[in-house]
Chain A
Amino acid sequence: MYSYWKNNQLKIAPWIFLAPGILMFSLYVIFPIFQSINLSFYQWDGLGTKTYIGAENYIELLDDEYFLVSLKNNVIWLVLYLLAVPAGLFAALFLNQTVRGIRIYKSMFFFPFVISQVVVGLVFSWFYAPSNGLLNVILEAFGFDSIAILAEEDYVTYGIIAAGLWPQTAYCMILYLTGLNSVDPEQIEAGRIDNARGWRMLWYVILPQLKPATFIAVVVTIIGALRSFDLIDIMTGGGPWGSSRVLAYYMYEKAFSEYGFRMGYGAAIAVVLLMIMMIYIATILYRLYRDERGG
């Protein structure tokens, strides 16, 4: 036995090391994904028996007004949340100096990322409050009418996205600050000699070197946009009348809220979101694969 071990250590050892991690991960992540996919073909209220209904949940989804609104909102999130990337870049450029105390400024700029989305949601709810919120106080001071952003179906999603951009921009900023630190100084000098200034320097010399940072920033931001749940739950509960709903929130409502308990239907919504995410996950994996094979 022992000699078998000694001879085959290199082959067996990795699997022993991997075992606990794979076990937990499979149990809590991998199997549940398949369980959810399976569940989406059933009708179940969480208690009684599961009834197989084939693709009925999905057919119902196509006709579901709330689902389509959620889908639309997710697209808006996907597009607008990406503003965090250029915003983070400019914040990084702004802070990439060596004046005294710049470290403190950088830390403080990063603050919003460290606090919980619950707090961000509460803070921005107060900010947007109709009569007393800071936003309306400022608007009225300048002579504009006050708006109740979270009560207007046309503005509410944008208001929540603005709240979400606050921490996300901080995150992108850190990525870019680190990236800027490792930009090749020789190339910059060469560019300066060639009289490249400002925008041209940024576009042709700096940005290409920031590609890894940009890649990660975009990936994390897209995943964050599709996952957004906390802010919507805290700020509007999906309202007004469901106009700020997103898929991540809708599936929670359908499966777990007091008015839901339709587990199969919630699972179907989850599968749709997963399919959308898979596009991005596949891109990331492909990129990683190329890196691994190439490097």
Chain B
Amino acid sequence: MFPTPIERTKPFTQLLYKIALPISIVIWLLPLIAVALTSIRSGADINSGNYWGMPTSINFVENYTAVFTDSPLGYYIFNSFKITIPTVIGALVLSSFTGFALGVYRFKLNLFVFFIFVAGNFIPFQILMVPVRDLSLSLGLYNSVWGLVAFHIAFQTGFCTFFMRNFIRALPFELIEAARVEGVSEFKIFWYVVLPLMRPAMAALSVLIFTFVWNDYFWAIVLTQGAEAMPVTAGLNSLNGQWVYNQHLVSAGSIIAALPPVLMFFLMQKHFIAGLTLGAVK
């Protein structure tokens, strides 16, 4: 194992390491700790300029409830869920089909189609900005949750297809061959043989897509205008404008907005990491 396993070094080095770990974490997460600290300060502290000293009172409950009662943040979060969950489902459905098609069948255009999906996912999405907005306008989907869902499903299908296809390629092909020999139709093979085996991939992808779409900011501001369809990323930015002097409230809002992906991450860490690191290992 590299670097030298710590147990094999001098006790002093071991001690040093054990001290270095928590210190380094604190320094690394300092910005977040600062935000969390600010989110429990009282308004009086902020007004008097007491940002970094001892808080005069712990206003955890007040601040966090104020965020929900004084602002549409709760509504924005609801929108974010309304956008993210259908996107995850839609992207998984589409990409399990496309991943299956590209992973199982050999046909001439297979690699070409695959590369289109890959390349499309890596482009700077600003180039899609104007046409997608016009498309949404003409489909009547502008400034609506479904407009964002439709776009995100389409775009994330690129990445998901790449992922699913590689995953399916690694499955034992004999299962499929055996089913074919028995005359099972292709669709039934997909449904009964392959799909159950894709569950780990789907778990990993759902966590990743949830995070990416929840944290999306650019398309939120391009495709939505008002509070009805705005997700929490864009909403937080507009609240920051209104609440400049209430950093304790904006901090609380930021923490709340960041919470769902963080929870997802902690609950499904293994899947998350599996999804991100696919291909990082030969």
Docked-complex contact B97 and A119, CB < 8 angstroms: no
- Nearest CB to that of B129 among chain A residues? A255
Most buried by A among B3, B240, B280, B282: B280
CA–CA, A134 and B264, complex, Å: 30
Interface residue stretch chosen among B54-62, B64-72, B153-161, B197-205: B153-161
Interface size on B, residues (CB 8 A): 97
Known: A21-B94, A24-B153, A252-B126. A174 touches B34 (CB 8 A): no
B211 at the interface (CB under 8 A from A): yes
State whether A126 touches B35 (Cβ < 8 A).
yes
A residues 249-295 in Cβ contact with B at 8 Å: 251-252, 255-256, 263, 266-267, 270-271, 273-274, 277, 280-281, 284-285, 288-289, 292
Tell me whether A119 and B135 are in contact (CB under 8 A).
no
Task: Please report which residues of chain B, range 121-157, place their CB below 8 angstroms from some CB of chain A when the two chains form the complex.
Answer: 122-133, 135, 150-151, 153-155, 157
Size of interface on A: residues with Cβ below 8 Å to B: 100
- Docked Cα-Cα span, A159 to B246, in Å, equals 24
Could you say which of A51-59, A75-83, A143-151, A227-235 contacts chain B? A227-235
Is A27 touching B154 in the complex (CB atoms < 8 A)?
yes
A124 CA / B254 CA spacing, docked (Å):
13
Taking A17-B98, A111-B32 as contacts, is the C-beta distance between A119 and B258 under 8 angstroms?
A: yes
Q: Check B2 against A180 for contact (C-beta < 8 Å).
A: yes
A97 within 8 Å of B by Cβ?
yes
Known A-B contacts A13-B186, A229-B126; the reply to A31 vs B265 at CB < 8 A is no
Question: Pick the contact of B280 from A105, A112, A206, A213 — CB < 8 Å?
Answer: A213
Contacting residues, chain B, for A48 (C-beta < 8 A): none
Contact in complex: B29, A256 (CB < 8 Å): no
B154 near A28 with CB under 8 A, answer yes
Residues of B within 8 A of A223 (CB): 122
A-contact bits for B79-109, CB 8 A (1 contact / 0 none)? 0000000000000011101101110110100
Task: Find out whether the CB atom of B24 lies under 8 angstroms from the CB atom of A94.
Answer: yes
Chain A neighbourhood of B25, CB < 8 A = 105, 108-109
Pairwise interchain contact A96-B1, C-beta atoms closer than 8 A: yes
Which residues of the other chain, B, contact A20 by a CB distance below 8 angstroms? 93-94, 97
Checking A24, A126, A179 against B247 with a beta-carbon cut-off of 8 angstroms, the contacting residue is: A126
Is there contact, CB below 8 Å, between B158 and A32? no
B279 at the interface (CB under 8 A from A): yes
Please tell me if B11 contacts chain A, counting CB pairs below 8 Å. Answer: no
- Establish whether residues A281 and B273, one from each chain, have CB atoms under 8 Å apart when the complex forms: no
**Residues of A contacting B233 in the complex (Cβ-Cβ under 8 angstroms):** 116, 118
Nearest 5 pairs between A and B by C-beta?
A28-B154, A32-B131, A21-B98, A116-B215, A17-B101
> Which B positions have Cβ atoms within 8 angstroms of A?
1-3, 5-7, 17-18, 21, 24-25, 28-32, 34-35, 38, 49, 51-52, 93-95, 97-98, 100-102, 104-105, 107, 110-111, 113, 115-120, 122-133, 135, 150-151, 153-155, 157-158, 161, 185-187, 190, 211, 214-215, 217-218, 221-222, 233-234, 236-237, 240, 247, 250, 254, 257-258, 261-262, 264-266, 269, 273, 276-277, 279-282
